[in-house]
Amino acid sequence: MKLIRLATQETVSLEDGFLWSDEFDWKPKAQTQEYAIDGSLIVQEGTKLSGRPITLTAADGQGWVKRRDLRTLMAWSALGEQFTLQFEYLHDRRTLNVIFNHEAGAIEAKPVLEHPTVSEDDYYAVTLRFTELNNAD
């Protein structure tokens, strides 16, 4: 899996150990129900065009990011730009247009070894939160 910065085509590779924890929580239909004064039900329904949350969490012992890549991701998250999240599994080659989801806490990171960092190669267990956009957003 990799994240591509659209403005520059720079890429950060992400381990295959990330789990898309909320992949099937998204509901593509929005619906409200209320009652009219006469008691009849009023249903309004529409299809969501974008906004699906994408939460990538570190599975046990996987989904680690090197400190140097984490620093890049942190800097990118502050840019307010769009990115391409590209899956590279044999069974899954999706490409998604995303932004960092700051409302949900875009990036969480904890050192894997729980000691002060000594190298840019030290690993962090990371949770990344994005929002999928369609191409018109």
Q: For residue range 126-135, list pLDDT tens digits in order.
A: 999 999 998 6
Note the pLDDT tens digit of each residue in 50-79: 999 999 998 777 889 999 999 999 999 999
Mean pLDDT (whole number) for 106-121:
89
Alpha-carbon span 137 to 127, nearest angstrom: 24
| Separation of alpha carbons 11 and 21, rounded Å | 23
In this prediction, residue 29 has a pLDDT band, given cuts at 50, 70 and 90, of very high
Number of domains in the chain: 1
For tokens 């998250």, the residue is: 77
The range of the structural domain enclosing residue 104 comes to 2-133
pLDDT beyond 60 at 84? yes
What are the phi and psi torsion angles at 71 (to 5°)? -60, -40
